[in-house]
Each structure stands twice: as C-alpha cells, then as structure tokens.
C-alpha cells in the first residue's frame, strides 16, 4: 500500500485524471476489505449469535490518513465513492484496536492489511470482536503476566504449545485426547510454579485469546489451512522477544478451534468472570493427574523439552543483563518521569521487558496526554499502576520539543520539564 496514494484520496479533486483513477481504485480496494469483513461476519453469525460487523477505520500509520466504512457523527469525514476519508486526530494513537470517536465505537486497523484473505479476515474480525466486547459482556482486562518472561514460565508454555500442535495433527481421537491432557497438565504445573498465574493468564486470554479465536473462526479456514495457520503462527510467535502479552493468541484459538469440533458454540457461555481452565478440562473430558509435577516431567520429553530448556537457559542469562541495564537507566540513575493526566497509549506487545517491582519496559511506544505526545523508539518504563512513564535524561531542548536517547517529547503550551536536586526531570505546569 503506497502511503502517497492513501494521502492522495483527499487531494483527488485537484489532481489529474490518471491520479484520480488511482485513488478511486484504492478506495475500491478498501471497500473490498469492508465487504470481506461484512460477508464473513454475517456468514459466521452463529459464533456469538450477533453480526459483529460495524464501524471500521483503516489507517496509514505514516500519514494518519484514514478510510472508513461509515461516516462520523459530525461530518469530519469526507465521502469518497462508497467509503469515507479523513485524518486521525493526533491525540489518538494508531494501532490495531477499538476506540470511541465522533459518536461511534470503531475497529481500527493499520494499513497495509495482510495480503492473504483468510489472514485479513481473521485480523478484521479480531478487532470487530473488541469493538463488540461490551455487548457480549466482556470487559477489557489487561493484567501483567511477567512470569512468562521467566525461564520456567516460558518452558512450560512452550511445552503446552507443542502439545497443542500435536493435538491438532493427531489422527485419532485417543491420540488427540492424550496430547490435550498433556497440554493442560503443563499449564496446571505452570500455575503451581507461579501462584496467581491462573488468574492473570485467564484474564488476558478472555480478552485477547477469545478475540483471536473469534477471528480464526470467522475466517472459516478448512482443516488443512487451519493447521498450516496455527503452525506458521507458532513459529512466528517463538521469535518474539517475550511472551508476556502475546501468548493468548496461541493458546485459546487452538483450544477453542478443537473444542468447536465437538461442541459448537461453546464460547457463547463465556463472560468476563469465566474460568477457562475448568471449562477446557470439562469440555475435553480430561483428568489432570494428582501428581502434576511428576506427570509434567514424565511427559515433557516427547515435546522437545531438552532443546526448549537449553534455549531458555541461554535466553535467561541475556535477559538478566538487559534487566540490569534498564534498571540503571530508569531507576538508579537520573531520569525523566512523566505522570499521566489523561493518557492514550499504543505499544508493541511482543518486545516488552518486565522490571519486577517497578513496571514494564516498552522499547517502542507512543503516548498522548494533556501535556503533549511522547514517542519512544529505544525504551521507556511504564509503571506498574500505569500512572507514569519514565525515559532517560533529555539531551536537547527547544521551546516545544525535548528529546533524549530514543525518545522525543512534543510539549503542549503550559507545560515544561524541570530538574530537581537529584538530577531527575519531571513535568511542570506553567
């Protein structure tokens, strides 16, 4: 997708004939995407008992130009053929998400969308689910799962995922049943190793896991394509620097897909208070061994445990060095601290690093607030309570812009940065 073309949608009236034809072609392509989402959600309406299709907003993150399938309430968007165009206000961050703007709840998706139709529909349906979450009795939950950045947490998640892959490829119900039992045993042992993990994992899986399951089912892949999708998706996932926020995209879609083969509509009983582990145990008719540790250790070998443990041991050494460096930058040495007033944030969930007791480091992030816009390209620490963000010391100042190593702060009028006696910087209202 060429950003110049997207930006040009708003300029077509002053451009030449050929250029305008190109813009019309692009608008038609975006309408094709909207039609794909509308058709797929209607055909798979039985998944939730409602048609998930609704307001959608496609955004070019480089230019912030947008194309939507519906008008806004105040007429900011301009009609371009069968779609509507405009520019996303700077206070909103671009992301694959849902948000409220101009009288509507929108599903926002960043361009370009996937080239493969099934992947594209999957992504659109995922965000359309998020848009519809309140009506389906799902409230947004986003608890930290920092144990999945620790060696044993990662080991037993990876063993669970390998068991799920074998369950997908099983040629008999008995074989599938055994792999599912082992997957859930690895999961249960992880919960024993990290008390409270059952609660935090469950909450995030009810949010992102169920959304991704919805996308998978709406895409309506056949068995062969579904297996290929899950296999490729897992390989990509294992390359992520961390699993802390991204693991639900791998777990619940597979469990849900397999459960739907025998119990269609199983998900319609869910809400924000549901407990997925007992539901899966019951749905698959699994009995978890009484000695979970012994069972997990006994079954681990058939799921590539030796290679997983070796890889995670090496990673643990590297991560501890990284954590020490981040602790110096954001905690022990002088730094810059920005407290939130009315924050809107976007970030990459696949490359974060938890700092126990302090929060989570996000290597890339964009935050808008009353005080301005912070763009991070090389590390920032979000506090545990999400009430402030910390970056390194500033290196350059202008009247309205401050920058440091890997970050830039555009300050709104009425705000400045001031330094205290310890050398730390913070926001100050004029």
Nearest-5° Cα angle at 349, 335 to 97: 115
- Per-residue pLDDT at 3: 39
3-state secondary structure of 390: strand
Distance, CA of 29 to CA of 269 (rounded, Å): 37
pLDDT computed for residue 73 by the predictor: 85
- In tens digits, the chain (430 residues) has pLDDT values of 333 334 444 444 454 555 555 667 778 899 999 999 999 999 999 999 999 999 999 999 999 999 999 999 888 899 999 999 999 999 999 999 999 999 899 999 999 999 999 999 999 999 999 999 999 989 888 888 999 999 999 999 999 999 999 999 999 999 999 999 999 999 999 999 999 999 999 999 999 999 999 999 999 999 999 999 999 999 999 999 999 999 999 999 999 999 999 999 999 999 999 999 999 999 999 999 999 999 999 999 999 999 999 999 999 999 999 999 999 999 999 999 999 999 999 998 888 999 999 999 999 999 999 999 999 999 999 999 999 999 999 999 998 999 999 999 999 999 999 999 999 999 999 8
What pLDDT score does 182 carry? 98
Q: H helices within 133-263, ranges in order?
A: 151-169, 173-193, 197-204, 210-219, 223-238, 248-262
- The H-assigned helical ranges of 9-78 are 17-43
d(CA 344, CA 364): 14
Bridge partner list, 425: 336, 419
What is the pLDDT at residue 4?
36
Give me the DSSP letters along 336-374.
EEEE-SS-EEEE-TTS-EEETTTEEEESSEEEEETTEEE
Closest to 146 (Cα-Cα) out of 349, 380, 353 = 353
- What is the pTM assigned to this prediction? 0.90
Q: What integer pLDDT is reported at residue 34 of this predicted model?
A: 98
Q: Residue 124: which of 3, 222, 42 has the closest Cα?
A: 42
Quick one: pLDDT at residue 6?
Answer: 43
Condensed to tens digits (0 to 9), the pLDDT of residues 234-269 reads 999 999 999 999 999 999 999 999 999 999 999 999
Give the per-residue pLDDT at 351.
86
């Amino acid at each position: 997708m060429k950003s110049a073309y997207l930006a040009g949608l708003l300029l077509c009236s002053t451009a030449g004939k050929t250029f305008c034809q190109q813009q019309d072609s692009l608008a038609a392509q975006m309408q094709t995407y909207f039609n794909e989402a509308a058709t797929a959600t209607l055909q798979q309406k039985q998944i939730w008992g409602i048609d998930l299709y609704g307001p959608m907003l496609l955004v070019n993150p480089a230019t912030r130009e947008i194309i939507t399938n519906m008008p806004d309430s105040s007429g900011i968007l301009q009609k371009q053929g069968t779609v509507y165009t405009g520019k996303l206000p700077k206070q909103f961050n671009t992301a694959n998400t849902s948000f409220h703007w101009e009288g509507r709840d929108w599903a926002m998706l960043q361009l370009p969308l996937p080239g493969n139709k099934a992947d594209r529909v999957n992504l659109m349906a995922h965000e359309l689910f998020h848009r519809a979450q309140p009506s389906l009795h799902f409230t947004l939950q986003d608890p930290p799962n920092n144990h999945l950045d620790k060696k044993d947490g990662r080991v037993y998640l990876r063993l669970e995922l390998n068991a799920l892959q074998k369950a997908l490829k099983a040629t008999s119900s008995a074989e599938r049943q055994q792999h599912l039992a082992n997957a859930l045993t690895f999961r249960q042992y992880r919960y024993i190793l990290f008390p409270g993990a059952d609660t935090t994992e469950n909450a995030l899986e009810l949010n992102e896991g169920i959304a991704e399951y919805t996308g998978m089912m709406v895409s309506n892949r056949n068995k062969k394509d579904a297996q290929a999708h899950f296999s490729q998706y897992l390989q990509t996932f294992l390359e992520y620097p961390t699993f802390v926020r991204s693991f639900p995209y791998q777990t619940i879609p597979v469990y849900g897909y397999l459960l739907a083969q025998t119990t269609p509509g199983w998900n319609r009983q869910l809400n924000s208070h549901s407990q997925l582990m007992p539901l899966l145990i019951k749905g698959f008719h699994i009995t978890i061994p009484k000695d979970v540790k012994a069972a997990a250790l006994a079954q681990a070998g058939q799921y590539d445990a030796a290679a997983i443990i070796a890889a995670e041991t090496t990673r643990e050494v590297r991560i501890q060095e990284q954590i020490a460096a981040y602790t110096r930058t954001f905690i022990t040495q002088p730094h810059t601290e920005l407290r939130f007033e009315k924050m809107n944030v976007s970030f990459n969930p696949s490359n974060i690093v938890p700092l126990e007791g302090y929060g989570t480091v996000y290597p890339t992030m964009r935050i808008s607030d009353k005080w301005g816009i912070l763009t991070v390209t090389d590390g920032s620490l979000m506090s545990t309570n999400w009430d402030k963000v910390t970056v390194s010391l500033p290196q350059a100042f202008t009247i309205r812009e401050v920058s440091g190593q890997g970050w830039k702060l555009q300050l709104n009028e009425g705000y400045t940065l001031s330094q205290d006696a310890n050398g730390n910087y913070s926001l100050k209202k004029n």
